[in-house]
């Protein structure tokens, strides 16, 4: 007996186009939702996704639904419309932009499920190639990453703090959160002239009541000066609508507490919606899934026909620790595509040795030598400046956040 396959049905309470259908049809099971947030959480948990959108009761395409659909472009949607709707250009554009196919009412069950079967087959094929539905380029099936995603998408207002190592995708996640909530996305570095000017202009705009819907993402938030922290706290106390903050932090909560660079008021603000983004090394098979996704994307951009990774490349990707996280993964794939011309990208072209990776166990490894040298330099600089992190970061030409992360990583005592 064939297993039931699920289909998401997105249907307004007053829609009638699919009411004739039962929730079970031969080997299909219909999962109905009228709430976009609940439907999104359902899709987040699925590898292969197909959906039916009952639009038959709508006068024109809804802007909120269109915005929501842009976050689920990998879903194979089948729209249900009336013939009268299809005569309107706005509905023609809606179907062409967001849908795999469409059917008109009254719906023929037999024809509808033939279309659904084709959509399901296409979805499975994309999933097999690791091109399955995701929110934009936010890809990951590991539970730790899915937990972080659920936390992010459930936040309807800020401030939100995304904590994680460099290269884990904090900025991308912040941008997707802004887009999902309908905000213009603006990313600025802490203590930059651009941020100082923006905060000043924001204060003036607030006093005149002329703020626009925007999400300000601040990178390396622990580098904010005391006055900037106070400015942001005072602004948020005004509860101005239409302006949200996302803070990106390279430290854990404990490391931020110990850094001494954050005021107590601002620390309370950071902890309001604190979300930890796991490093790539802790995401299991996500390493290979992400690699396949970016191999396909980057090879198309470079107009190269690469079919996949060789066995040694997949083994290298799965066993490597990825200290640079997703950014390093993308860089290695880009390098490999640039210098390799075969059908399958191998480990050597990506900068891995042909022999099995032994970085963790080889005392003569280049990576371990770099880490030991890095730790030694940091220790010497801290001794030179009597343990002052701000001055040490300046001499090392890195941010305070990077310095605190390296101190924690190497277990350096100040």
Residue ranges per structural domain of the chain: 5-128, 143-278, 287-350, 366-410
Cβ pair 270, 249 in contact under 8 A: yes
* Residue 48: alpha-carbon gap to chain centroid: 18
Which CATH entry fits the domain spanning 5-128: 2.40.128.690, 3.40.50.2300, 3.30.70.1710, 3.30.1360.230? 3.40.50.2300
Cβ pair 298, 334 in contact under 8 A: yes
- Phi-psi domain of 108 (left: phi exceeds 0; alpha: psi -120 through 50; beta: other): beta
Task: Name beta bridge partners: 160.
Answer: 246
pLDDT in the model for residue 246 = 94
Angle between helix axes 366-384 and 389-396 (nearest 10 degrees) is 130
Using alpha carbons only, give the angle 298, 303, 308 rounded to the nearest 5 degrees: 55
pLDDT in the model for residue 184 = 87
Which homologous superfamily is 143-278 in? Answer: P-loop containing nucleotide triphosphate hydrolases (3.40.50.300)
d(CA 172, CA 154): 17
* Residue 164: alpha-carbon gap to chain centroid: 13
In sign, the C-alpha dihedral spanning 54, 58, 63, 64 is: negative
Across the 414 residues of the chain, what is the mean pLDDT of every consecutive 10-residue run? 69 61 69 84 72 89 82 83 91 88 89 88 71 58 86 85 93 88 87 79 58 82 88 83 87 86 91 94 90 86 82 91 93 90 86 56 58 84 82 84 76 69
Where do the H-state alpha helices sit in 214-324?
226-237, 253-259, 264-270, 286-301, 311-319
Nearest to 31 by CA among 58, 15, 50: 50
CB atoms within 10 A of CB 166: 20
d(CA 293, CA 132): 9
d(CA 290, CA 280): 10
- 143-278 and 287-350 in the same fold: no
DSSP secondary structure string for all residues of 162-204: EE--TTSSHHHHHHHHHHHTT-EEEEEETT-HHHHHHHHHHHH
CA neighbours within 13 Å on the CB side: how many for 91?
22
**Domain 287-350: top CATH class:** mainly alpha
CA distances from 91 to 60, 169, 328 (A): 7, 35, 43
Name the phi and psi angles at 344, rounded to 5: -125, 125
pLDDT in the model for residue 360 = 40
Supply the pTM of this predicted model: 0.62
DSSP secondary structure string for all residues of 346-372: -TGGGT--SSPP-TTT-TT-HHHHHHH
Residues in the chain: 414
d(CA 73, CA 289): 18
Where do the H-state alpha helices sit in 238-285?
253-259, 264-270
Per-residue model confidence as pLDDT tens digits over 200-222: 776 565 554 545 678 899 998 98
Name the phi and psi angles at 242, rounded to 5: 90, 5
pLDDT in the model for residue 2 = 42
Cβ pair 139, 290 in contact under 8 A: yes
């Amino acid at each position: 007996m064939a297993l039931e396959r699920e289909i998401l049905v997105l249907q307004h309470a007053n829609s009638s186009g699919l009411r004739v259908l039962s929730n079970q049809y031969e080997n299909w099971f219909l999962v109905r939702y009228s709430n976009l947030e609940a439907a999104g959480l359902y899709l987040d948990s699925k590898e292969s996704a197909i959906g039916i959108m009952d639009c038959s009761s709508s006068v024109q395409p809804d802007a909120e639904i269109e915005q929501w659909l842009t976050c689920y472009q990998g879903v194979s949607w089948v729209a249900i419309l009336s013939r009268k709707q299809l005569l309107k250009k706005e509905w023609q554009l809606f179907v062409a932009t967001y849908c795999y196919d469409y059917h008109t009412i009254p719906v023929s069950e037999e024809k509808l499920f033939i279309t659904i079967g084709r959509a399901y087959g296409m979805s499975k094929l994309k999933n097999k190639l690791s091109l399955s539905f995701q929110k934009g380029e936010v890809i990951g099936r590991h539970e730790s990453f899915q937990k972080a995603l659920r936390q992010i998408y459930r936040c309807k207002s800020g401030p939100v703090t995304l904590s994680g190592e460099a290269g884990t995708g904090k900025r991308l996640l912040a941008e997707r959160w802004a887009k999902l909530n309908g905000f213009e996305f603006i990313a600025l570095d802490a203590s930059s002239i651009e941020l100082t000017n923006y905060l000043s202009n924001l204060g003036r705009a607030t006093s005149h009541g002329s703020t626009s819907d925007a999400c300000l993402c601040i990178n390396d938030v622990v580098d904010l000066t005391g006055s900037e922290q106070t400015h942001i706290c005072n602004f948020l106390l005004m509860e101005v609508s239409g302006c949200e903050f996302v803070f990106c932090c390279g430290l854990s909560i404990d490391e931020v507490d110990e850094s001494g660079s954050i005021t107590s008021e601002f620390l309370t603000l950071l902890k309001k919606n604190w979300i930890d983004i796991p490093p790539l090394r802790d995401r299991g098979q996500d390493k290979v899934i992400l690699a396949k996704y970016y191999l396909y994307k980057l090879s198309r951009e470079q107009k190269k026909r690469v079919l996949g990774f060789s066995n040694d490349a997949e083994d290298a990707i799965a066993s490597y620790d990825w200290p640079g996280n997703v950014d390093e993964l993308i860089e290695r794939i880009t390098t490999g595509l640039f210098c390799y011309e075969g059908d399958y990208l191998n480990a050597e072209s990506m900068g891995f040795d042909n022999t099995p990776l032994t970085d963790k166990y080889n005392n003569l490894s280049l990576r371990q030598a770099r880490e030991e040298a890095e730790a030694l330099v940091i220790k010497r600089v801290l001794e030179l400046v009597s343990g002052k992190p701000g001055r040490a970061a300046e001499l090392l030409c890195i941010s305070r956040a990077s310095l605190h992360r390296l101190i924690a990583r190497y277990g350096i005592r100040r």
